């Protein structure tokens, strides 16, 4: 969490300022105008993930600019360094020299002192990369079970993914349900393909998504015990029929919604990244794991943010191919790549059901949408990764 500290005189000054700005009434509710005079680091954001395309890499580390606001007459330092003041604004250049970096601003004035501390992450070994996750998987497993194929890749769905891997080196994580409904569940899937799963595990992974497609938003308010029970049931079956090499810790839970108390247990299960839509609609953030508005707004316009309480990084899905017509795939990706805050890591998604002709919302050119996205990413130098490996798919500090 961010940390604010005020001296006793600073507290009294803030209290006086609060009283001075006045009170308004709105529908009978008491509200206050914004309080002047508080010290606040505004950039970088608490939990920001920084790299050399957002800052300057030097022999000493990563040089970044820290900006914020403080009482105009106060002297402000950041990590002990003097700042440049312009009215209520301050700025200073500092060096990040480790993975997790503390940044502390201190203001000192005639009315006392204040302190504001944040943490940021330096992705030291970052490179342009993409990951591809496919949600809601169950139909292809049922198809293989029912048809008893000689090879996994006799199933058109896996053959399509294999072709994309051979063509571009693409990697995929298939987020799976335990059951399609009343006619199939994972216990029925044979382990006779385990050798094939292992042979292709360098580019094809299976992961937990939910117990089933319905009901909608099954874990939005569900107890932690329910989520963990479903998690264990799915993982047990994946490892039984596909082996541990094929299993990947999940990077998205169905509908991207779990209660906050579930985050630390998920981390203990190996989860390091959670992706979501982070879309603001109907007056609230959707697909955002119940994070507060400030963090959701930041994630929606960046490559990601670390939640230090749980250790999990939150990432926004940049493209969901079943929602984007093939002719709009490249323009969308280009617009994201033109924003330095979002360009480093492309978080790509789609959903399995739209590949199947029997599905009510079948998309005939669904495979072409994936091809268009992956081809463009490859041409731009993005490399395929798995988010659970290293740091967001890149080498972690220990492997520098």
End-of-domain residue from the set 122, 146, 181: 122
Same domain membership, residue 144 and residue 35: no
pLDDT of residue 399: 59
Q: Between these two residues, 289 and 27, which has the higher pLDDT value?
A: 289
Task: Please check the confidence at residue 14 and state whether its pLDDT lies above 50.
Answer: no
**pLDDT value at 18 more than 90:** no
Does residue 398 surpass a pLDDT of 90?
A: no
User: Which segments of 79-203 are extended strands (E)?
Assistant: 81-82, 84-86, 89-96, 100-109, 112-122, 129-137, 172-177
Three-state secondary structure along 290-322? CCCHHHHHHHHCCCCEEECCCCEEEEECCEEHH
Mean pLDDT of 269-284: 97
Q: Which of 185, 186, 314, 198 is nearest to 245 (CA)?
A: 198
Confidence of residue 2 (pLDDT cuts 50, 70, 90): confident
Percent of the chain having pLDDT more than 70?
Answer: 91
Mean pLDDT, to the nearest integer, of 279-296?
A: 97
**Average pLDDT across the chain, whole number:** 92
Residue 85 has pLDDT above 90, yes or no: yes
The model's confidence at residue 316, banded by pLDDT at 50, 70 and 90, is very high
Enclosing domain of residue 57: 3-122
Whether 70 and 166 map to the same domain: the answer is no
Mean pLDDT over 305-326 rounds to 98
Residue 182, pLDDT score? 82
- In the chain, the number of structural domains is 2
Question: pTM, whole model, 2 decimals?
Answer: 0.90
Three-state secondary structure readout of 77-88:
EECCEECEEECC
Section 26-30 average pLDDT: 34
Q: Is 348 in the same domain as 255?
A: yes
pLDDT band of 11, cuts 50, 70, 90: very low
Is residue 252 domain-shared with residue 114, that is, in the same domain? no
Q: Which of 212, 207, 204, 152 is nearest to 177 (CA)?
A: 212
The answer, yes or no, to whether residue 27 has pLDDT greater than 70, is no
Residues in the chain: 400
**Do 51 and 192 have their domain in common?**
no
Instruction: For residues 185 and 56, state if they share a domain.
Output: no
Q: Verify that 257 and 304 share a domain, yes or no.
A: yes
For residues 172-194, average pLDDT = 96
Taking residues 158-164, report their average pLDDT.
98
What are the pLDDT digits (tens) for 328-378?
999 999 999 999 999 999 999 999 999 999 999 999 999 999 999 999 999
Q: Do 258 and 334 belong together in one domain?
A: yes
Listed range (21-25, 133-137, 139-143) with the worst mean pLDDT: 21-25
DSSP β-ladder status, 172-177 and 129-137: parallel
**CATH number of 259's domain:** 3.20.20.370
**Which residue reads 């599905």 in tokens?**
359
pLDDT at 37: 67
Q: CA 29 from chain center: how many Å? A: 36
What is the arithmetic mean of pLDDT over 227-256?
A: 98
- Span 256-262, average pLDDT: 98
Q: What percent of the chain has pLDDT over 90?
A: 88
Find out whether 256 and 276 touch, Cβ atoms under 8 Å: yes
């Amino acid at each position: 969490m961010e940390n604010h500290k005020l001296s006793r005189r600073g507290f009294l000054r803030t209290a006086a300022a609060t009283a001075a700005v006045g009170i308004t009434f709105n529908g009978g509710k008491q509200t206050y105008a914004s309080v002047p005079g508080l010290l606040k680091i505004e950039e970088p954001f608490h939990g920001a993930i920084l790299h050399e395309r957002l800052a300057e890499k030097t022999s000493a580390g990563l040089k970044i600019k820290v900006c914020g606001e403080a009482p105009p007459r106060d002297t402000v330092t950041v990590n002990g360094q003097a700042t440049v003041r312009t009215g209520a604004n301050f700025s200073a250049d500092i060096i990040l020299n480790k993975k997790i970096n503390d940044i502390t601003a201190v203001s000192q004035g005639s009315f006392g002192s204040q302190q504001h501390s944040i943490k940021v992450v330096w992705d030291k070994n970052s490179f342009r990369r993409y990951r591809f996750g496919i949600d809601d998987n169950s139909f292809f497993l049922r198809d293989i079970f029912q048809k008893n194929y000689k090879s996994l890749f006799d199933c058109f769905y896996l053959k399509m993914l294999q072709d994309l891997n051979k063509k571009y080196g693409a990697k995929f994580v298939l987020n799976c349900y335990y059951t399609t409904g009343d006619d199939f569940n994972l216990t029925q899937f044979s382990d006779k393909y385990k050798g094939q799963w292992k042979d292709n595990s360098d580019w094809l992974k299976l992961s937990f998504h939910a117990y089933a497609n319905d009901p909608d938003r099954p874990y939005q308010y569900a107890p932690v015990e329910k989520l963990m029970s479903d998690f264990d049931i799915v993982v047990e079956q994946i490892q039984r029929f596909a082996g541990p090499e094929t299993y990947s810790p999940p990077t998205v839970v169905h509908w991207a919604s779990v209660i906050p108390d579930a985050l630390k247990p998920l981390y203990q299960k190996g989860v390091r990244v959670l992706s979501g839509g982070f879309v603001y609609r109907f007056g609230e953030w959707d697909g955002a794991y119940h994070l507060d508005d400030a963090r959701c707004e930041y994630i929606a316009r960046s490559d990601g943010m670390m939640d230090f309480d749980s250790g999990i990084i939150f990432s926004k899905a940049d493209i969901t191919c079943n929602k984007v017509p093939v002719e709009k795939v490249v323009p969308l990706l280009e617009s994201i790549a033109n924003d330095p805050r979002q360009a480093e890591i492309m978080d790509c998604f789609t959903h399995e059901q739209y590949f199947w002709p029997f599905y009510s919302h079948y998309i005939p050119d669904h495979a072409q949408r994936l091809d268009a996205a992956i081809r463009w990413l490859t041409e731009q130098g993005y490399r395929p990764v798995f988010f659970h490996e290293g740091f967001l798919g890149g080498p972690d500090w220990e492997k520098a």
